[in-house]
Structure 1
Amino acid sequence: MGRDDLTAQMGATVALVVLIDLAFALVVAALLEPWLAGVLATLGLASTAARYAVLGGFVLCVLLWAQLQYTRRELLAEADADPIDPATHPDLHARVTRLASLADMRVPAVAIADTDVPNSFAVGGLRTGTVVVSDGLVETLSGDELDAVIAHELVHLKNRDALVMTLASFLPALVSDEYSLLEETVPEPQRPVVWGAALLGGYLLSSAFIDAPLGSLTGLAQFGVAVALTVVVGGVLLGLFATLIVFLSRRLSRSREFVADRDGARLTGNPAALVSALATLDETITTPERDARRAYAGLEGMCLLPHGFERGDDDGFRVETRSHPPTEERIARLREVAVELERAV
């Protein structure tokens, strides 16, 4: 696949992700409208269409913010990655700076994942991004191999496919229960209070569509049914939308790895170094053993190799990931790049 083909595929993926976001926002608006109709009416939104538009626009803005900002932070947290600076890691920072200059791109932030599992990935942003490498990667690879891996990740940032994958990872991670705003922002002793306040507020708002007196058994039963329907319908549709995004991002993930391998090898002028790095890392961690519920195109789908930053448990389920092409195929294509470079010389 060429860069133009990858660009077209990324454009189609972004367009579909935005359409899915819009569809999900409208679904949430439809589910929330009966609960908030009275409040919105007092604000001057008398028509149902106006209330849908306001609620849908608000949910869409929250989704876009989460995909652009919250997801980046959570991906770094999931990998236990901390930013570094030239003073603490001069060699690694110098490598990234030198290779970014060769690629004619802005120098990205650099972070190190505190794990002995060798891997790397790139998190995209609107203006720049972050290259993440693990302690295990730095300790396992030689200097040339490390340069090759860093060049691979820089290509992901330059081609903007890292940004697309970052955007696409939010809804699948939400469905897989990877993200929980409540757990991160509210201390555990206060969570029952927050849930209680939410239920009380919802119960009061339900008076807009419940035709039984508040406090009566009939009113409580209708409230319970309304909550159940809202949660179940919203959860089912969220799962369907996330499945579509997983399918799209997996297709993109496979394609983008070939392009990053090729262009990264051309950037360093040393395809053999990336071949050696891939072979070494593939032998270090074999097919990951993961809980099947976590088999989505999230952090694992963004890494150089799809084992993420955790070692599999011996008693876990074996999950075949399809987010990356086989390492043998990547190596074979890199050897073709080596032949092309030799002919050019």
Structure 2
Amino acid sequence: MPGLTTTEANTSASASPVVSFDICETYTSLLKNEELSAPLAAILALSKLIETSDAGTMLELVKALNDGAGALKASTFNPISLNAGCELFIAFVTLLPHDSASFSDLKLELVRQGQKYAAEALTYRDKIANLALGFIKDDSVILTHSYSRVVMKTLLRAHERKRISVYVTEARPRGLGLRTYEELTAAGIPCTVVLDSAVSYVMDKVDFVLVGSEAVVESGGLINAVGSNQIAIIAQAANIPFYALAESYKFHRLFPLSQYDLPTHTSNILSFPLSPGGNVVPPPSTGVIKTAHEKSSNADYIRRMTPEQIACNPGVDYTRPDLITLVFSDVGSLTPEGVSQYVVGMFAG
């Protein structure tokens, strides 16, 4: 298949040399760079696919790119952010005006433009941080969720010029909020970890909520680490601004109406475990952990969710546009309606 496996054929009867290109392996290798997010890694992987592809027409090239994007999406349990990058790059390839002398020259130009865009996109977090800085007042108390590179960039930039304090949710089950806590504390920013179930408890002490994004969809809504939606609902009830930070390559041509429209949702998510006979499956004993103290006392056991129970829970959720105050992006500070208009225009050429 063009692009996924590129073969240099020889018309002679002798065995021909074969050069294989594994787009999933290339994508995984690119993600080892901490600065590269999933959409940018996808764009660079697709650029490499063009470079190695033997496609001789635009129709063949677009098919190879779609096949490559399909292989990438199938290789991950959460393809939302990755898919945003794939859609953006494929739309760019099909809409790019060109006057190349040959199709080979056109492919080289597409590769060059893809790499150029990825390099430029690495500066977007700085642009967003500078833009959001104007909305952060001195002595602000900020609530953030999980871990986000663009949020970290913004908070560290704000700390250089202003006094801020940060509450961060634990963000179970991965606990990425603890990474945020460690990095902010190391930078000298006062920070406290909040239980996911204690968000409403702390909301009255917060000036605004600041979260990152997996994707911003065509409706102007937000897809982010699970728990973002309930934080937004609580913030709106408390009349607290809810700000999202998103690089424009995370703008996604997707229009979910509920949590169950997300590509990550499967029938296994939040399902009730039943045996083949229809009976309720009893809980495994691994869900209870005894400490040394508990073994010698009548204290309650410390209970933990089992891996099977965690696997039945969503990793991301959808936040409706009416819950979002503003989206800060490298293309400006946008209302959810403004995001919707921008996404439509972006893919219309």
State if a TM-score over 0.5 links the two structures: no
Question: As a proportion of its length, which structure holds more strand?
Answer: 2
TM-score with structure 1 setting the length: 0.28
Question: As a proportion of its length, which structure holds more helix?
Answer: 1
* Greater length-normalized contact order (CA 8 Å, ≥ 6 residues apart): 1
